[in-house]
């Protein structure tokens, strides 16, 4: 080789070396531009996908838009979204474009797929790659899987670089995963929006279909929402109601009540550092209607709060209580009528008893036998004691209970008049606690007292002896009534046994104590004292 | 100045629905032509994702049953649109007010490119005048994948043989429907055919001027092909071709790198003085479409190289590509003044798309900007471009071929 040939070879080598460097630079530049192009594609794809977030479409339509954007941007043949069902270890086609298979087709992978695959002509035909190709209905594909969202995304081509003009590769991960994650964001947002919308629709439907008026207002009573039932309640439309101030809604008295209640609650909020969210205030007010009339309303109102928990407004339910008020008045009227009837009955019973007593008195005028006369007197006293009960009842407030202390005083006075001669020298001491008994216990109690006081008046102080009779009425520690009649007279006969007495009066006492389910105690010294202990109500009634 | 009426209407749609795509493209073309014009014939190029038999009847019905010539394309270009999604449908509708071309079809490419070329050449010889412009579109793909391509050079040799010395200006393309070279077809008037070639012999009143945009720079010394079989190159300077190329582009031996060959380099044959300063017009570039590590060979898009052909490894220079489009379009427009072109046809190598080449911008967008809206433009992305270079029309790779058409009486020579 001569010098010239050596020089030629040298320059050839130099030329080729420079060429190699140039090619390397060109290749690096091309690769950088392809990477930039891929990033631009990813950015464009994500931008376009984000735009569907604002579209007012169903989730299904949303997903189809997503797939169409992917196909347009990547110029791919097919794209699909699949849902993963972990329980069945299967993927189900949810939305697909470009596929001929039916929707909801299910596929079970040989193993759980990874989060990303790029499958091109150089990919090894592993079981999962084969499964993906079968799933994708094409040999070249990109796969992204988000197990947390149970969502997979698939893009496939029949020809490797037909439209992207390059095979799918690992660097495409940013594109396909970016798109999937944006979609998941959108799906979650749409689901939240739909749930909120369903909730709002449900409550709005409820608000717009109930008879009660549901409203919200600021703290100055300016309405921010009024349900359509305001028209039925007041005659005003929603639009008219929204423009009304409180002075156009409530009567002056009601405004006073409402503002005071609000002020009181706000004051409590300031003093106690908060308002009990659970408590609503119920006010009975009067609503002004469009036709100039007023109707009674019941308003349940609760505070709305801002994020700091401070009262920021009011939410309330207004109910027309005209019918309720009418019903209440009717009940009151009916009750009054019944009271009058009952009063009349007691009055008539008392009159009838007095007539009987008068008949006995007239009858006694036809005999002079002291024993018969005494019997007549006893009977008259017994009847009077019962008449006195009915008199007390019809004069009482509730026509059901008798003030026993007052009854005792009147009974004693009555008996003293009856036994005027014997009572002349006797001091009467009544110490009665104020107790009320119903008629079924007041009548036996009255008869018992009548017998015991009569007995003392007739027998304890013979031949004009002076002495003292006392009547006490008190509540025991166990809540029972202790009713006692005592005297410091001659005392009971030595052989006296009140359980086996032959006198009518004491037999009557025994029977009546039994009716009261009571006990009878007798003390002989230092004075004679008979006490009856019984319950205010019958035990059977209590159980009922 | 009175506004000149359009004699060519252009329309383009990217609608995935073939019927709607045809209707939209035809509607735009007819709007541009105006209501008084009828369509005599049309050029139609459709993306590979469309089914050709579905679009053609729609276009014919919409345009009034004209003959429709064209074929598959990777994408399409008009004055306002540019896309290569596979759903393009681009049409140029020519008014009946301008002379109609003669359509010649050879549907026997599969019997041999030379034979089909000779058949066409014979007919063209009889039907054309000297210097006429002929549009030529052929189906690039014999079968595949893997793709086996029709050799454009053989076809051109056959045509020139059939012409028997008659000089015609042949401009055209080998069509492909996608860059993976899986599908292609030709519209031959009223049908879409495989293995076909169609020639559109424009009447002499149609005059044309063509410029070729390049974009490759030589980056190696000359390499002599020492073993080749058709488009398959086995050796340079007695060494395995693939090994020589790998060393040049510093690629590792792993399989994943091999495909990058076609994205980075072409092989260029320099015509004329081999030691003359660089002029892109002196180079014929060949795309490397495949490599075979088993025997160390590479496959070219064309089969015009022979044993002893000296080639250089060419770098696909994006900046050169963009500059070339801008400069050569301006030069062509300037050379046309004051005549006004009625139609512009741009046949653009699909490899020049931004997505494929990695160019920062679309070189076709530069063409759109330079050309403006006055001259109706129909362009499409092809596999092979055919244009006059170095004394005769040749199949070219990695070029953009822009032709402007005017209507004028031929000058007597």
Burial (CB < 10 A; 0-12, 13-18, 19+), residue A152, is buried
Sheet-wide strand order for B392-396: B102-106, B197-201, B133-139, B169-175, B384-389, B392-396
Q: Examine residue A17 and state whether it is found in any structural domain, yes or no.
A: no
Q: How far is CA A483 from the centre of its chain?
A: 48
Domain end position, chosen among A191, A220, A255: A191
Instruction: Find the mean pLDDT for residues A47-68.
Output: 84
Is the predicted pLDDT of residue A441 greater than 80, yes or no?
Answer: yes
- Closest residue, chain A, to B16 (C-alpha): A72
What is the tens place of the pLDDT at every residue in A87-127?
999 999 989 998 877 667 788 999 999 999 999 877 888 99
Mutate to test the interface with A, among B358, B359, B362 (most CBs of A within 10 A): B358
Q: Examine residue A70 and state whether it is found in any structural domain, yes or no.
A: yes
What is the tens place of the pLDDT at every residue in A160-199?
654 444 678 888 888 888 889 989 988 888 888 888 888 8
- Closest residue, chain B, to A68 (C-alpha): B16
Q: Examine residue A200 and state whether it is found in any structural domain, yes or no.
A: no
* A44 Cβ under 8 Å from any chain B Cβ: no
pTM: 0.59
Domain end position, chosen among A299, A320, A341: A320
Q: Examine residue A539 and state whether it is found in any structural domain, yes or no.
A: yes
Lookup: tokens for A480: 């029972």
Question: Are residue A234 and residue A155 in the same domain, yes or no?
Answer: no
Lookup: tokens for A164: 């992207």
> For position A84, what pLDDT does the model report?
94
Q: Examine residue A63 and state whether it is found in any structural domain, yes or no.
A: yes
Q: Which residues of B touch A33 (CB under 8 A)?
A: 358-360
Q: How far is CA B168 from the centre of its chain?
A: 17
Lookup: tokens for A420: 């005027």
Angstrom distance (rounded) from CA A83 to CA A93: 7
SS3 B190: coil
Mutate to test the interface with B, among A14, A17, A23 (most CBs of B within 10 A): A23
Question: Are residue A130 and residue A246 in the same domain, yes or no?
Answer: no
Element (H, E) at B46: strand B39-47
Question: Are residue A183 and residue A60 in the same domain, yes or no?
Answer: yes
Domains of chain B: 8-214+320-407 (no CATH), 216-316 (2.40.30)
> For position B258, what pLDDT does the model report?
47
Interchain pair B250, A24: CB under 8 A: yes
Angstrom distance (rounded) from CA A109 to CA A116: 14
- CB neighbours (10 Å) of residue A176? 25
| Shortest Cα distance, chain B CAs vs residue A46, angstroms | 19
Question: Are residue A185 and residue A257 in the same domain, yes or no?
Answer: no
Picking from A345, A364, A353, A372, the residue whose alpha carbon sits closest to that of residue A447 is: A353
Confidence of residue A274 (pLDDT cuts 50, 70, 90): low
Question: Are residue A354 and residue A422 in the same domain, yes or no?
Answer: yes
Is the predicted pLDDT of residue A74 greater than 60, yes or no?
Answer: yes
> For position A500, what pLDDT does the model report?
73
Question: Are residue A35 and residue A105 in the same domain, yes or no?
Answer: yes
Question: Are residue A331 and residue A316 in the same domain, yes or no?
Answer: no
DSSP letter string, A116-140: EEEE-TTS---HHHHHHHHHHTSSE
Question: Are residue A135 and residue A54 in the same domain, yes or no?
Answer: yes
Domain end position, chosen among A286, A320, A354: A320
At what angle are helices A370-395 and A404-418 packed, to 10 degrees? Answer: 150
> For position A27, what pLDDT does the model report?
78
Angstrom distance (rounded) from CA A45 to CA A43: 5
Interchain pair B355, A166: CB under 8 A: yes
Count of A–B CB contacts within 8 Å?
Answer: 84
Confidence of residue B413 (pLDDT cuts 50, 70, 90): very low
**Residue from the list B255, B265, B355 with its beta carbon closest to the beta carbon of A23:** B265
> For position B410, what pLDDT does the model report?
54
Interchain pair B180, A29: CB under 8 A: no
Instruction: Find the mean pLDDT for residues B128-142.
Output: 95
Picking from B198, B44, B27, B209, the residue whose alpha carbon sits closest to that of residue B119 is: B198
Q: Which residues of A touch B255 (CB under 8 A)?
A: 122
* A22 Cβ under 8 Å from any chain B Cβ: yes
Angstrom distance (rounded) from CA A394 to CA A352: 14
Question: Are residue A388 and residue A272 in the same domain, yes or no?
Answer: no
Is the predicted pLDDT of residue A330 greater than 90, yes or no?
Answer: no
At what angle are helices A3-51 and A59-74 packed, to 10 degrees? Answer: 160
Question: Are residue A60 and residue A132 in the same domain, yes or no?
Answer: yes
What is the tens place of the pLDDT at every residue in A260-269?
888 887 777 6
Question: Are residue A116 and residue A156 in the same domain, yes or no?
Answer: yes
What is the tens place of the pLDDT at every residue in B283-341?
888 888 888 888 999 988 888 899 999 999 998 888 889 999 999 999 999 998 888 89
Q: What is the CATH number of the domain that holds A485?
A: 3.30.565.10
Q: Which residues of A touch B354 (CB under 8 A)?
A: 37
Return the biggest CA–CA distance within chain A. Answer: 188
* B255 Cβ under 8 Å from any chain A Cβ: yes
How does the average pLDDT of chain B come out, rounded? 90
Q: Strand A467-475 vs strand A426-432: parallel, antiparallel, or unpaired?
A: parallel
Is the predicted pLDDT of residue A420 greater than 80, yes or no?
Answer: no
**Residue from the list B86, B180, B220 with its beta carbon closest to the beta carbon of A19:** B220
Interchain pair A24, B264: CB under 8 A: no
Is the predicted pLDDT of residue A348 greater than 60, yes or no?
Answer: yes
What is the tens place of the pLDDT at every residue in B358-382?
787 899 999 999 999 999 999 999 9
> For position A421, what pLDDT does the model report?
66
> For position A146, what pLDDT does the model report?
93
* B96 Cβ under 8 Å from any chain A Cβ: no
Instruction: Find the mean pLDDT for residues B217-232.
Output: 93
Angstrom distance (rounded) from CA B338 to CA B194: 42
Report how many domains make up chain A. Answer: 3
Is the predicted pLDDT of residue B23 greater than 50, yes or no?
Answer: yes
Which residues constitute the domain of residue A234? 210-320
Q: Which residues pair with A281 in a beta bridge?
A: A301
More confident residue, B408 or A488: A488
Interchain pair A162, B179: CB under 8 A: yes
Q: Which residues of B touch A16 (CB under 8 A)?
A: 219-221, 248
Is the predicted pLDDT of residue B3 greater than 70, yes or no?
Answer: no
Q: Which residues of A touch B359 (CB under 8 A)?
A: 33
- CB neighbours (10 Å) of residue B266? 25
Angstrom distance (rounded) from CA A73 to CA A51: 14
Preceding peptide of B145 cis, ω within 30°: yes
Task: Specify whether the CB–CB gap between B314 and B321 falls below 8 A.
Answer: no
Picking from B405, B406, B400, B403, the residue whose alpha carbon sits closest to that of residue B82 is: B400
| Shortest Cα distance, chain B CAs vs residue A9, angstroms | 10
Mutate to test the interface with A, among B51, B221, B258, B320 (most CBs of A within 10 A): B221
Question: Are residue A498 and residue A395 in the same domain, yes or no?
Answer: yes
- CB neighbours (10 Å) of residue B314? 27
Angstrom distance (rounded) from CA A314 to CA A311: 8
SS3 A23: helix
Q: Examine residue A2 and state whether it is found in any structural domain, yes or no.
A: no
**Residue from the list A16, A19, A159 with its beta carbon closest to the beta carbon of B178:** A159
Confidence of residue B2 (pLDDT cuts 50, 70, 90): very low
Instruction: Find the mean pLDDT for residues B244-253.
Output: 74
Q: What is the CATH number of the domain that holds A314?
A: 3.30.450.20
Interchain pair B260, A159: CB under 8 A: no
Q: Examine residue A222 and state whether it is found in any structural domain, yes or no.
A: yes
Interchain pair B178, A160: CB under 8 A: no
Q: How far is CA A274 from the centre of its chain?
A: 21
Angstrom distance (rounded) from CA B146 to CA A121: 13
Interchain pair B264, A30: CB under 8 A: yes
Q: How far is CA A400 from the centre of its chain?
A: 36
Q: Which residues of A touch B218 (CB under 8 A)?
A: 19
| Shortest Cα distance, chain A CAs vs residue B171, angstroms | 26
Preceding peptide of A188 cis, ω within 30°: no
Q: Examine residue A535 and state whether it is found in any structural domain, yes or no.
A: yes
> For position A208, what pLDDT does the model report?
66
Interchain pair A15, B260: CB under 8 A: no
Instruction: Find the mean pLDDT for residues A144-154.
Output: 93
Confidence of residue A367 (pLDDT cuts 50, 70, 90): confident
> For position B329, what pLDDT does the model report?
96
DSSP code of residue B254: S
Confidence of residue A506 (pLDDT cuts 50, 70, 90): confident
More confident residue, A521 or A169: A521
Instruction: Find the mean pLDDT for residues A411-432.
Output: 83
Q: What is the CATH number of the domain that holds A110?
A: 3.30.450.40
| Shortest Cα distance, chain B CAs vs residue A76, angstroms | 9
């Amino acid at each position: 080789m001569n010098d010239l040939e050596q020089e030629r070879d040298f320059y050839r080598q130099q030329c080729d070396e420079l060429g190699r460097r140039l090619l390397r630079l060109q290749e690096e530049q091309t690769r950088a531009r392809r990477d930039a192009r891929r990033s631009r594609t990813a950015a464009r794809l994500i931008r376009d996908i984000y735009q569907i977030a604002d579209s007012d479409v169903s989730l299904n339509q949303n997903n189809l838009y997503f797939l169409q954007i992917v196909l347009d941007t990547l110029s791919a043949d097919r794209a699909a979204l699949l849902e993963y069902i972990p329980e069945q270890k299967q993927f189900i086609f949810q939305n697909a474009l470009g596929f001929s298979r039916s929707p909801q087709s299910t596929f079970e992978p040989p193993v759980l797929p990874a989060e990303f695959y790029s499958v091109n002509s150089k990919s090894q035909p592993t079981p999962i790659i084969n499964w993906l190709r079968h799933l994708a209905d094409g040999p070249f594909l990109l796969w992204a899987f988000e197990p947390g969202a149970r969502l997979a995304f698939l893009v496939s081509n029949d020809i490797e670089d037909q439209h992207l003009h390059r095979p799918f590769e690992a660097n495409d991960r940013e594109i396909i995963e970016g798109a999937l994650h944006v979609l998941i964001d959108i799906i979650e947002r749409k689901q939240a929006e739909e749930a909120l919308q369903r909730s709002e629709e449900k409550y709005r439907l409820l608000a717009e279909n109930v008879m009660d008026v549901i409203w919200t207002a600021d703290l100055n009573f300016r309405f921010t929402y009024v349900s359509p039932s305001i028209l039925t309640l007041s005659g005003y439309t929603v639009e008219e109601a929204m423009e009304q101030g409180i002075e156009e809604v409530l009567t002056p008295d009601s405004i006073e009540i409402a503002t005071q209640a609000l002020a009181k609650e706000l004051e409590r909020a300031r003093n106690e550092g908060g308002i009990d969210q659970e408590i609503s205030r119920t006010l009975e007010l009067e609503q002004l209607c469009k036709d100039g009339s007023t109707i009674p309303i019941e308003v349940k109102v609760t505070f709305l709060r801002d994020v700091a928990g401070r009262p920021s407004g009011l939410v309330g339910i207004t109910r027309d209580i005209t019918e309720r008020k009418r019903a209440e008045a009717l009940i009151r009227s009916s009750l009054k009528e019944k009271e009058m009837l009952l009063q009349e009955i007691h009055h008539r019973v008392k009159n009838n008893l007095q007539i009987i007593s008068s008949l006995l008195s007239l009858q006694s005028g036809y005999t002079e036998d002291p024993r018969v006369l005494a019997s007549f007197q006893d009977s008259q006293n017994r009847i009077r004691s019962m008449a006195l009960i009915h008199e007390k009842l019809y004069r009482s407030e509730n026509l059901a209970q008798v003030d026993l202390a007052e009854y005792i005083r009147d009974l004693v006075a009555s008996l003293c008049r009856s036994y005027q001669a014997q009572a002349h020298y006797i001091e009467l001491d009544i110490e009665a606690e104020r107790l009320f008994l119903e008629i079924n216990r007041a009548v036996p109690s009255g008869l018992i007292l009548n017998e015991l006081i009569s007995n003392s008046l007739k027998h304890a102080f013979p031949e004009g002896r002076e002495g003292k009779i006392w009547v006490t009425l008190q509540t025991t520690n166990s809540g029972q009534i202790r009713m006692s009649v005592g005297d410091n007279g001659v005392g009971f006969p030595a052989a006296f046994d009140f359980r086996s007495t032959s006198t009518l009066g004491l037999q009557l006492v025994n029977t009546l104590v039994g009716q009261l389910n009571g006990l009878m105690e007798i003390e002989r010294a230092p004075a004679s004292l008979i006490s009856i202990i019984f319950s205010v109500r019958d035990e059977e009634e209590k159980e009922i | 100045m009175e506004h000149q009426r359009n004699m060519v209407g252009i329309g383009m749609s990217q609608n995935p629905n073939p019927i709607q795509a045809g209707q939209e493209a035809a509607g735009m073309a007819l709007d541009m032509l105006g209501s008084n014009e009828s369509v005599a014939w049309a050029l139609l190029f459709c993306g590979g994702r469309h089914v050709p038999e579905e679009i053609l009847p729609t276009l014919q019905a919409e345009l009034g049953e004209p003959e429709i010539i064209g074929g598959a394309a990777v994408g399409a270009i008009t004055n306002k649109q540019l896309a290569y999604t596979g759903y393009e449908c681009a049409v140029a509708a020519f008014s009946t007010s301008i002379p109609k071309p003669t359509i010649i079809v050879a549907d026997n490419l599969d019997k041999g490119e030379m034979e089909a070329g000779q058949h066409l050449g014979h007919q063209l010889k009889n039907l054309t005048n000297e210097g006429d412009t002929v549009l030529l579109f052929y189906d690039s793909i014999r079968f595949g994948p893997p793709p086996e391509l029709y050799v454009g050079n053989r076809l051109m040799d056959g045509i020139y043989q059939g012409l028997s010395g008659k000089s015609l200006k042949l401009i055209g393309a080998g069509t492909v429907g996608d860059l993976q070279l899986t599908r292609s077809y030709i519209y031959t008037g009223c049908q879409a055919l495989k293995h076909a070639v169609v020639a559109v012999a424009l009447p002499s009143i149609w005059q044309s001027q063509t410029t070729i945009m390049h974009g490759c720079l030589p980056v190696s010394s000359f390499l002599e092909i020492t073993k080749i079989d058709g488009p398959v190159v086995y050796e340079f300077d007695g060494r395995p071709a693939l090994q020589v190329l790998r060393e040049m582009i510093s690629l590792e031996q792993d399989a994943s790198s091999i495909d990058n060959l076609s994205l980075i380099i072409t092989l260029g044959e320099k015509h004329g003085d081999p030691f003359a300063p660089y002029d892109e017009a002196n180079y014929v570039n060949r795309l490397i479409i495949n490599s075979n590590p088993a025997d160390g060979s590479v496959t070219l898009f064309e089969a015009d190289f022979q044993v002893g052909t000296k080639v250089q490894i060419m770098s696909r220079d994006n900046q050169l590509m963009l500059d070339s489009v801008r400069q050569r379009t301006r030069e062509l427009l300037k050379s046309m003044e004051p005549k006004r072109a009625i139609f512009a046809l741009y046949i653009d190598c699909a490899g020049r798309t931004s997505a494929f080449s990695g160019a920062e911008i679309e070189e076709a967008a530069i063409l759109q900007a330079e050309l403006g809206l006055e001259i109706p433009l129909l362009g499409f992305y092809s596999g092979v471009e055919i244009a006059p270079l170095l004394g005769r029309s040749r199949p070219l790779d990695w070029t953009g071929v822009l032709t402007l058409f005017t209507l004028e009486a031929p000058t007597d020579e």
